Amino acid sequence: MTDQIDEYSLADRYQLTRGRVLLTGIQALARIPVEQLRTDREHGLNTAAFISGYPGSPLGGFDLEMARARDTVPELPIVHQPAVNEELGATSVMGSQLASTRADALYDGVVGLWYGKAPGLDRAGDALRHGVFAGSSTYGGAIAIVGDDPDAKSSTMPSSSDATLVDLHMPILYPGTIAECLELGLHGVAMSRASGLWSSLKIVTAVADGSGTVDLPVLTAPPELPTVEIDGKVWVSHPSAEFLGPRMVAVEREFREVRAKLAYEYGVINRLNRVSVDPSDAWLGIVATGFTYYEVVEALRRLGLADDDAIAGSGIRLLQLRMPVPFDQKLVHHFAEGLDEILVIEEKNPTLEWLIKDALFARADRPHVVGKTHEDGRTLMPSWGRLDADTILPGLRERLTPRLGERLAPLPPPPRELIPLSVNRTPFFCAGCPHNWGTKVEDGAVMGAGTGCHGMTLLMDPERVGDTIGITAMGNEGAQWVGMAPFVETDHLVQNYGDGTYFHSGQLAIQYCIAAGMHMTFKILYNSTVAMTGGQDSISSVDVPALASILLQQGASKVAITTDDPSGYHGIELPQGVDVHPRDRIVDVQAALRAEPGVTILIHDQECAAELRRDRKRGRAPTPTRRVVINQRICEGCGDCGDVSNCLSVQPVDTPFGRKTQIDQASCNFDESCLDGDCPAFMTVEPATGAGVSEGTRTRAPRPPDPSIINPRPVVH
């Protein structure tokens, strides 16, 4: 354990070079370029860093944290440019690797980082493939940071990106802890420089959302770089974007015969994969990667094998693959010696299981290999959802029981049956959210949900938000109507959009629907915020008047604007025929648009309530003093105020006078849409100037004593 820390600043997570720091998974990733540029300067290299991509959980806050890291170390040349979408970000990172090939290059090399969640990897595949084939520079290096969401916690579907990354010719580094995010990130840069390949970091939700202490430096010695000689000269990567047919066949050969072998050799000589427990009399070998490896160790602990000695004493050998690709066949051969059985524990598809079976197939003394199923076809390890210790435990117990029997910890008592909750909390829009107005539709309307907060309409009452036809991949919203419309009686669709989705890729879907002659209305919420991934600014400089003009020029038959503040458009020049309406007329405006032929557009202009609340707390926006309250003696609890405003701050409350309604002042965002209800019980209160507790009467609570440390335990990374 390191010495006790007496003083600590939040900036230390990026400024300290030695000692212990507290990091989240996202912050550890953001530290990669900081650490690499410092190391380069120690070795006489003048390098810079370029980061681009698109946010999405589990990497939702990476762009925000990267901006903080950059601002914390202004002495380092770090450029962070959030991209409009993932493929443009990938091409930008490709450009960073080409910079050093220019005679006018300002730096010896540029470290390039691309980030995106699994669906972003899918859509950016072509751009990433071009980047990988272009190559990485010797003093630059490129990494694709991919966020995987195996149990669809914040995604439209479960994801595992391994197969896609293999197809893109990217070595896969899979951190299982916070410290490994930084350690393997630095290895990824070094591997990319040595091999000319882009490396990839697979980051699952539990790692990205986790936090822990990290002892610096994470690399105690510089990585060893493999080399290969071709025609008597040491091979060096020369990035090039000259994608011409005959040349690309030669590049493909280079992938197979040079780059992939160098990446493999890098993993071997730097011991990225390791046999972590290796008894000489082992009968069972367990293989796992990344985060799953640590869940396997936890499952063994629950079975009574509390540490490495207990695991080894039970005849179990463990193989931790932190770089599963390129596959280390020699290591697997060594690992398999003397074993009766190998159990492969991996998420989703049995990719690693197949590779191990193939590697051992020709050996006469090969052990029996199982993974996803028992010998009789029964499920051993699920291929769906997240593979955590709870999920691993039953299958692992079944495989261990015949040999270990009573040495295993007994089954825990069955969990208590909890009384079912009478009310389940369903995700909903924030108080004052523009979606509270923007998702309203006519009675009987058919509606398409969209990526973003308005995706929650799938959980809401159809009478309020319309009869939904579901959701699509981001940016394709509305295109599903092209395939549905000819085969249903309904003649009109209302498709929800966010401005972030529109600028990301959705404008192409609108153009497609216009070209296909669809009859539909796109509702674009213009709030300048990509709210669901952490409140990032929408990457666009197009304001509402310009957006309306663009849509009309692209062929929209009619464009209308609704807003919470029509006075903000006084003196603003709009395209001919574009009218501005107060938000309480949004349903009537939609009815008028439905009567128009072709594709019509409704732009709902209202600021994100969550971002407005943050701005008020930070002093960047004024906080209204007027409060809305309800006289409960007059209120009849009819609910009209909640129906009109759709606001979570309008809440029922039991009183001595019966069930009434109240405004929750803590969550209220001063939207005041509840005043539009037909109710005489509402009042507004304006506090008198200077009201409140005077400074002279304020008292400070005494500072609590520091807690004492009892039986300190070393931190395991």
Structure tokens at 10: 């939040």
State residue 465's pLDDT score: 82
75, pLDDT greater than 90: yes
47, pLDDT greater than 90: yes
Structure tokens at 181: 């995010």
Strands (E), 108-220: 109-117, 142-148, 172-173, 199-204, 211-216
Q: Give the dihedral sign, CA 275/279/280/283.
A: negative
Q: What mean pLDDT, rounded, does the chain reach? A: 90
Higher pLDDT, 352 or 426: 352
Q: Give the dihedral sign, CA 565/567/573/579.
A: positive
445, pLDDT greater than 70: yes
Stretch 678-704: mean pLDDT: 71
d(CA 607, CA 435): 10
Stretch 669-677: mean pLDDT: 87
State residue 510's pLDDT score: 95
Stretch 533-547: mean pLDDT: 76
Stretch 639-665: mean pLDDT: 88
d(CA 123, CA 130): 13
Structure tokens at 200: 């990839």
- Do residues 636 and 552 lie in contact, with contact meaning Cβ atoms separated by under 8 Å? no
| Three-state secondary structure readout of 500-566 | HHHHHHHHHHHHHHHHCCCCEEEEEEECCEEHHHCCEECCCCCCHHHHHHHHHHCCCCEEEEEECCH
Stretch 387-413: mean pLDDT: 92
State residue 503's pLDDT score: 87
532, pLDDT greater than 70: no
d(CA 248, CA 239): 13
State residue 700's pLDDT score: 63
For 566-596, the pLDDT digits (tens) are 999 999 999 999 999 999 999 999 999 999 9
CA distances from 412 to 306, 380, 392, 407, 418 (A): 16, 20, 15, 15, 17
State residue 536's pLDDT score: 65
Stretch 602-629: mean pLDDT: 88
For 258-293, the pLDDT digits (tens) are 999 999 999 999 999 999 999 999 999 999 999 999
Stretch 145-172: mean pLDDT: 88
715, pLDDT greater than 50: no
State residue 621's pLDDT score: 87
Structure tokens at 591: 């009815």
**Listed ranges 72-81, 412-421, 695-704; the one with the highest mean pLDDT:** 72-81
Q: Which residue has the tokens 């009183």?
A: 655
State residue 3's pLDDT score: 56
For 288-326, the pLDDT digits (tens) are 999 999 999 999 999 999 999 999 999 999 999 999 999
d(CA 51, CA 222): 23
331, pLDDT greater than 80: yes
Q: Which residue has the tokens 């980047």?
A: 131
State residue 267's pLDDT score: 97
Q: What one-character DSSP code corresponds to residue 282? A: -
pLDDT classification of 535: cutoffs 50, 70, 90: low
State residue 454's pLDDT score: 72
Kindly report the CA angle at 38 between 34 and 44, in degrees rounded to 5? 145
d(CA 322, CA 189): 15
d(CA 343, CA 287): 6
Q: Considering the chain, what percentage of its residues have pLDDT values greater than 90?
A: 64
State residue 714's pLDDT score: 47
Segment among 213-227, 293-307, 697-711 with least mean pLDDT? 697-711
pLDDT classification of 692: cutoffs 50, 70, 90: low
Stretch 409-422: mean pLDDT: 79
CA distances from 13 to 19, 46, 304 (A): 10, 23, 37
124, pLDDT greater than 50: yes
356, pLDDT greater than 80: yes
d(CA 663, CA 658): 16
Q: What one-character DSSP code corresponds to residue 297? A: H
State residue 6's pLDDT score: 66
For 460-485, the pLDDT digits (tens) are 777 778 888 888 888 889 999 999 99
Stretch 152-174: mean pLDDT: 88
693, pLDDT greater than 70: no
pLDDT classification of 416: cutoffs 50, 70, 90: confident
Stretch 414-442: mean pLDDT: 78
Which amino acid appears at position 20 of this protein? R
Structure tokens at 442: 């006519």
Higher pLDDT, 556 or 677: 556
- Three-state DSSP state, 456: helix
> What distance, in Å, lies between the first and last C-alpha atoms of the chain?
12
State residue 711's pLDDT score: 56
694, pLDDT greater than 60: no
The DSSP-derived string for 200-249 is: EEEEEHHHHH-EEEEEEPS-SSPPP----EETTEE----------HHHHH
Q: Considering the chain, what percentage of its residues have pLDDT values greater than 70?
A: 94
